[in-house]
Amino acid sequence: MIENFNKKNIARVVEALIFASTKPVSSKELSPYLEEFELNDIIEIIEKRYSSDSGVQLQKISSDHFAFRTHPDIAARLNLERAVERPLSRAAMEVLSIIAYHQPITRSEIEEIRGISLSRGTIDILLEHDWIKPRGRRRTPGRPLTWGTTINFLDYFGLSDLDDLPGIEDLKSAGLLRKGQSIGELEGQLYPSEETEVALSEEHEESFYNEDEENFELETLSDDYDELEKSHETENI
C-alpha cells in the first residue's frame, strides 16, 4: 500500500479514477483526491504518459470533465456494428439539434421553430439517453421550463464543448439540411443577427435562473415532465 502520496502517485490515483469511470469525471469529483496539488499539474503529468504513440488519450470535455478516449487516428479500425434497440427518430434528432443550438429553450419555442407540436415521447427518449436536462425556469408569466444539453451529449457526439457544434457549411456538406430549406433560413435560426443576439442576451440576464439555483430530479420521466410544465399554470389560476 502506497503511503507517500507525492505528485506522481496522486497522478496515478486520478488516472485510475478516470480510467475506471463509465462517464466523464468532473473536476469536482477529482478534487478530494488531489491533496495539496493543483488539478492542472496532475492532468499534465497524466497527459505526458499518453503521447501520440499511445492508443488512447486523455480528453477534456466541457472545460471541467475528463475521460480516456481512443486516439483519433486509430478510432476507425475499432468501430463495431451493433443493433440499436431504440434508434432515435428523425423528430427526436431534430428536437435535440434545436435544443443544442438554442439552449436554454422552452417547449413552446421548440414547437415554434419546428412548426409542429412536441410529443412527450420525444422528450422522454432524449432524457433516457441523458442528452438533455432542465436548465431552470424563465422569470416570465407561467415560468416555463427550459431545456439544455448535458455532458453526456458532448461525450457521445465527440464534442469538447458547444463551440464544436457543426456550422452551416458542415451541415450542408453532410446533407443534413431539410429539402427545400434555404441556407439563409437556417442561418437565421442557428446564428441570430447581431441585433437579435443583443436582445436575447439582455432578456436572458433578466429572465433566467442560473441552472444551479434549482435542482431537478426526474424520477419518472413522462409524469414529471408534464408536472414541471404545468405546475405554475396551476398556481396562477
pLDDT tens digits, 44-99: 999 988 876 888 889 999 888 999 988 888 878 887 776 655 667 888 888 998 99
**Co-location of 106 and 66 in the same domain:** no
The enclosing domain of 231 has a CATH number of 1.10.10.10
Distance CA 16, CA 10 (A): 10
> 2 lies in a domain?
no
As for how many domains the chain has, the answer is 2
Backbone angles phi, psi at 106, to 5 degrees: -90, 165
Model pLDDT, residue 234: 46
Peptide bond into 104 cis (omega under 30): yes
**Co-location of 157 and 72 in the same domain:** no
At 190, list the grid cell: 442557428
Extract the residue ranges of the chain whose pLDDT is less than 70. Answer: 1-4, 52, 82-87, 168-237
The whole-model pTM stands at 0.51
Find the length of the chain: 237
**Co-location of 56 and 128 in the same domain:** no
**Co-location of 112 and 203 in the same domain:** yes
**Co-location of 190 and 113 in the same domain:** yes
Range(s) of the domain holding residue 230:
90-235
Distance CA 181, CA 171 (A): 12
